[in-house]
Structure 1
Amino acid sequence: MIDFDIKSDFNKRDYKKQIERIRDYIYKGDVYQVNMSRQLSGRTSLTTGELYLRLRETNKAPFCAYIPVRNGFILSSSPRAVYGGAKRTFKNSPN
């Protein structure tokens, strides 16, 4: 077990509100898919590299990322890859 004091930028009420907005967008035909994410922050005794490896061990998603940024780092784990293409198009894989 990891000793990890974690905080989310979503509370339960806001999370449910976002889900309803997403459902509305899909129902109206504005989108067919939404990748809703949230920011988690906290403190741990693990290094960022150790935390990333734990994420990969725990969540076996095929697309993971460890991205250092100015004020910390981004850990990402997803069953799908979305990446930029030419002429402002985006590709979503697997199809």
Structure 2
Amino acid sequence: MITQDGRKIKDNPFQEIKMGKFDRCEPYLPDVLHVTDVAEYLGLHPKTVCAYIREGKLRAIRCGRYYRIRREWLREYINSESACEE
């Protein structure tokens, strides 16, 4: 994407996801997501996403001090009943 002043900026891969086009955009998502990426997509605070991980609502792995969420695990959470209850 190019701005009016001619600068080139990266397209946000989560923009289309926010519009409810997860199935179509899934191949463009990275295989492994950061907590901030998931929080941005779900419209939640990153601390809330971490709480869901600790509660077992959202599956993740721990890499050092940080969590990583696989794309498939995000899909499972979205399709689960716990996501509908929130």
TM-score greater than 0.5 by the shorter chain: no
TM bin, normalised by shorter chain, reads: under 0.3
Larger strand proportion of the pair: 1
The two structures have a TM-score, normalised by structure 1, of 0.25
TM-score of the two chains, using structure 2 as the length reference: 0.27
Structure ranking higher in helix proportion: 2
Greater Rg over alpha carbons, structure: 1
